[in-house]
Structure 1
Amino acid sequence: MSLNKLNQLYMAVVMDHASHPHHKLALPDATTSVELHNVSCGDDIRAFILMKDDKVQQVSFTGNGCTISQASASMMTDALAGLTKTEAVAGCEAFFQLVMGKQISTKAKAWLGDAEILGSVAEFPARIKCATLAWHAAQEALEGGN
């Protein structure tokens, strides 16, 4: 695939998630939730996690921010739903590694789904915080949250 077509695919996936985010809603029966802010650009995300039998039954988010933060939050809700707590925390860690330009396992790539495309954010250090904000909120929620 040519670089131009790859860039077009990246933009299409990111714009679709940002324009039509998945699971962007408050989850009143959430087991935990965590709200984080990115002071450098004003992004604001709250991640909601509903755990049952050590599995992420539902994950959602609310908040506002740039295209990258909103798309990443949407991708995060798809990636973490249905995983065990251990897998979900490992998925968050894999995402952090990916956006820092590090290699991740094939299994981790499968967990990430569309979020794997955000690995290119590593080339733009100022955007890493935008991409990881929802994932940090989810990880904190998984580890106990509010």
Structure 2
Amino acid sequence: MGLAKLNQLYREVVLDHSQHPHHKGKLPEANGELELRNPTCGDVISVQVQINDNKIEKLYFEGSGCTISQASASMMTTALTGQPVEHARELITDFSNLIMGKEISEEAEDELGDAAVIGTVAEFPTRIKCAALSWHALDELLEKKEAEKNG
């Protein structure tokens, strides 16, 4: 795919997720929640999760911020809902690697879905924190939940 078409696809996917976010709102039956802020650009994201039998049953977010942070959070909820916690954490690592400009497997790219498109943010270092905010929040939350479970 040519660079111009890739840039157009990126813009369309990011704008669609930003304007019509998936799983945005309060998750009343959440059994875990964590809020993170990006002081650089003012993004605030609260990630709420319902985990049952070590699987992410539901994943929502609330907050405000730039187009990239909102779109990335929407993409994350779509990609990780229904995933076993351990696999979700692997995909979070894959996403982090992708936005840092590192190669990931084709399989991981497929599983990330629309979130893989946002990987081009690696070309804009000041936007990496925006794209990563919700993913970092979920990773911290899952780590916290694992620590609570293990006592």
- Structure 2 length-normalised TM: 0.93
1:24 Cα deviation after fit: 0.3
Percent of pairs with identical residues: 53
2:31 maps to 31
2:78 maps to 78
What's the RMSD between the two structures over aligned residues?
1.2
2:142 maps to 142
1:107 maps to 107
Where does structure 1 lack aligned partners over 5 or more consecutive residues? none
> How many residues align structurally?
146
Flag the structure with more relative contact order, 1 or 2, with Cα contacts below 8 A and sequence separation at least 6: 1
Cα distance between partner residues in 2 of 1:23 and 1:135: 14
Where does structure 2 lack aligned partners over 5 or more consecutive residues? none
1:110 Cα deviation after fit: 2.1
Cα distance between partner residues in 2 of 1:32 and 1:144: 9
1:144 Cα deviation after fit: 2.1
What SS class does the counterpart of residue 29 from structure 1 fall into? coil
Cα distance between partner residues in 2 of 1:29 and 1:124: 37
- Structure 1 length-normalised TM: 0.96
